[in-house]
Amino acid sequence: MTLISWVDDSPRNRPALVAAFTGWNDAGDAASGALAWLASRWDTTEVATLDPEPFYDFADTRPRLHLEDDGSRSLIWPSNDLMAATVTGAETPDGADTELALLVGTEPQLKWRTFAQQIVDMAQRLDSPLVVTLGALLTDVPHTRPTPIYGSSDDPEMAAQLGLTPSSYEGPTGIVGVLHNACATAGLQTASLWAAVPGYASEIPSPKASLALVRRLGTLLDLSPDTSELEEMAESYERHVSELADQADETSEYIAELESAYDRETEENGEIEEMRSTDPGEFVDQIEQFLRDQRS
């Protein structure tokens, strides 16, 4: 059974494929938000879509009813849409337009290996030289400081070229981890970028973390998107979270502890936003140990 529907079969110029999935890998909607923001500012063409039927428990991830302008209703199913995005010369180092493949998806509940293989098939069909995934995790970091970004690659050659470190993480994973394993098995080069989102603001979408991901992705792919709009959204987010925190003394005190831990780590190891770590958990462990020391 064919699970990928190819909408536009035009030849592509070996675009890198960048993917983000809502769900477990997307704290504060930061990863999906970053990719959606990029897709909204670039000219995009729908290339392919993945049949959701085998991969979702629709009692858990439910389709949505949408009211059309003419009064009719349509169903919107969980989607995994592949788009070709044209990046204008103003955002590239040589001034020439370039192309990226963007996959904005939803983490499935079922048949993860089959799902990941579909993404691998898409990348192979496009002859993508690199598959980049974006993710975000909840950690003990303050919203008032630069967002930590962690990068890794399972390919030693790619890791050395990009200044990343092969991942040493062991433990539970989401669809991003499964996809990276499938790509490695297929011989595809991969890289992954993760943003740290404050756990105390888990219910608030974080354009600040999205901004940090967009900036690091730009560095990775040698692109320079104009992020002024996203910067304004990030500033509004920081003000909003601060206003909410000021209403609860315990939260304000906790944030002050996180700021002290962050500042100490920055003093010892440099700007955390620029650090590249084999495992986001390493920084989280250091923060948690500091908090334990403060409370003992």
Model pLDDT for residues 95-146, shown as the tens digit of each residue = 778 899 999 999 999 999 999 999 999 999 999 999 999 999 998 899 999 9
Distance CA(16)–CA(119), nearest Å, equals 13
Q: pLDDT at position 268, please?
A: 75
Q: Tokens at residue 94, please?
A: 């040589």
The count of residues in the chain is 296
Beta-carbon neighbour count of residue 229 at 10 Å? 13
Instruction: Tell me 74's DSSP state.
Output: E
Rg for the chain, CA atoms, rounded: 20
Bridge partners of 44, per DSSP, are 85
Distance CA(8)–CA(252), nearest Å, equals 51
Q: Tokens at residue 7, please?
A: 């909408």
Q: pLDDT at position 72, please?
A: 87
Distance CA(11)–CA(28), nearest Å, equals 36
Give the helix ranges, DSSP H, for 163-277. Answer: 175-185, 207-221, 228-246, 249-269
Q: Which residue has the tokens 């919107």?
A: 76
> In this structure, are residues 26 and 135 in contact, taking their beta carbons and an 8 Å threshold?
yes
Nearest to 183 by CA among 20, 13, 3, 17: 17
> In this structure, are residues 126 and 17 in contact, taking their beta carbons and an 8 Å threshold?
yes
Amino acid at 291: L
Nearest to 283 by CA among 157, 173, 142, 172: 142
Q: pLDDT at position 166, please?
A: 57
- Strand 149-152 relative to strand 43-50: parallel, antiparallel, unpaired? unpaired
Q: pLDDT at position 279, please?
A: 47
**Phi, psi dihedral angles at 168 (to 5 degrees):** -115, 15
Q: pLDDT at position 1, please?
A: 64
Bridge partners of 137, per DSSP, are 196
Q: pLDDT at position 270, please?
A: 63
Beta-carbon neighbour count of residue 52 at 10 Å? 19
Residue ranges of the chain with per-residue pLDDT less than 70? 1, 158, 161-169, 270-296
